[in-house]
Amino acid sequence: MRGLVSPIEICHTMKLSAIFLCVLCLFAGERTARSIECPDARLSFDVPSEIRAFYRNPDGSCVQCSLGMCGVSQNVPNASTLLWDTEYGSRERGGSGPSRVANYSRKRGLRIYNITGRQTYDWLRWAYRNGRPAAIGAAPVHFQTGCGCHPKEGDATWYVCDNNRTGTIAEYSQKGFERLHESSGTWIVILDYPPTPPRPVIVAWWQ
């Protein structure tokens, strides 16, 4: 009968589609299908996915969502409560630029490094080397949370959590991350607070 397709043709088409999907993945920022989750020694960020869900981007507040996640990771309630009205200050919603972030940081007494331009990569490596995440420009007019890179020097794998998809921490190759970061205009914000330690574990080291 006309219109019926044989199983062989279906398989052939599916094979073509699978190849196409893989190629698309390669070009679409070189993200991999592997998943990474907190806690992980490769990350300079530790926030479980159920907490990250609080920072899902509701209304174009990606900068504050990213800073909020950094605030949780570094135990800075002043930053982690940016999206809501709290004793630390009124909610900060909507789009932001470096000046707006500087203004509300001053108002709230929040200590930050506010960095634009070519030196963002040096600062990111410093932050990750020293146990700190960063809020980073990633993708056109969007901000995400930079969770780390491994190894810390050279051609590394970079880890980023998107507040539009808080359930996953994506991995990017060096080139993929550069494309992602530079599409936004290279701007990052790092909280100027000490890092938090890894989740403590009792080990019988005295024996």
Partner 1 sequence: MKRFLLAIALGIACAPLLVCAQSTDEEVFKGEVTRWGDTVQHIAGDERSKQRRGDEADIMGVPADDNHKWFISIVGSKGCAPCARLRADIRADQATQKNLGAFITLMDGDEMHSDPKSSWSHYNYFLAEDKTQAFRFEKLGIKAYPTIIVQPPLNKAFGDPATIVYKREGYDGDPAKLVKEISAAIKLYVQKQQERKDGGATKAAAARHALPAPARSEISGAFGQNDIGVDPPFVPTPRVDPTPVPNVLPPQIPPPDAKPTPAPKPDATPDVPVDAKDLPPEAVIVYDKNAIASEEQARRLDRVVEKLRAAGKILRVRQIDYRDAPELDVPRDQLPAVVVTAEGRVLDRLTDRLLPFVSEEPKEIGLADVPWNVIWTLITGGGIGVGGAVALLLFAVKAFRAFRLSQGKAPLLSDEQLAQLRAQFETWFKPREPAK
Q: Which of the residues 144 through 163 are near partner 1 (CB under 8 A)?
A: none
Instruction: For the segment 76-95, give every residue that binds partner 1 (CB under 8 A).
Output: 76-77, 80, 94-95
CB of 90 to partner 1, least distance (A): 15
Residues in the chain: 207
CB of 155 to partner 1, least distance (A): 20
Instruction: For the segment 29-68, give every residue that binds partner 1 (CB under 8 A).
Output: 46-48, 51, 54, 59-63
In the complex with partner 1, the residue whose CB is nearer, 22 or 175, is 22
Token pair for 132? 């700190």
CA distance 49 to 3: 47
Out of 1, 8, 24, 33, the only residue in the binding site for partner 1 (CB under 8 A) is 24
DSSP letters for 133-191: -EEEE-STT-EEEEEEEESSSSS-EEEEE-TTSTT-EEEE-HHHHHHHHHTTTSEEEEE
In the complex with partner 1, the residue whose CB is nearer, 60 or 174, is 60
Strand order in the sheet with 187-191: 169-172, 157-161, 143-150, 134-137, 187-191
In the complex with partner 1, the residue whose CB is nearer, 102 or 174, is 102
Binding residue count for partner 1, defined by CB under 8 A: 85
Instruction: For the segment 98-117, give every residue that binds partner 1 (CB under 8 A).
Output: 98-100, 102, 105-117
Report whether 148 contacts 37 (CB < 8 A): no
Report whether 99 contacts 119 (CB < 8 A): no
In the complex with partner 1, the residue whose CB is nearer, 32 or 102, is 102
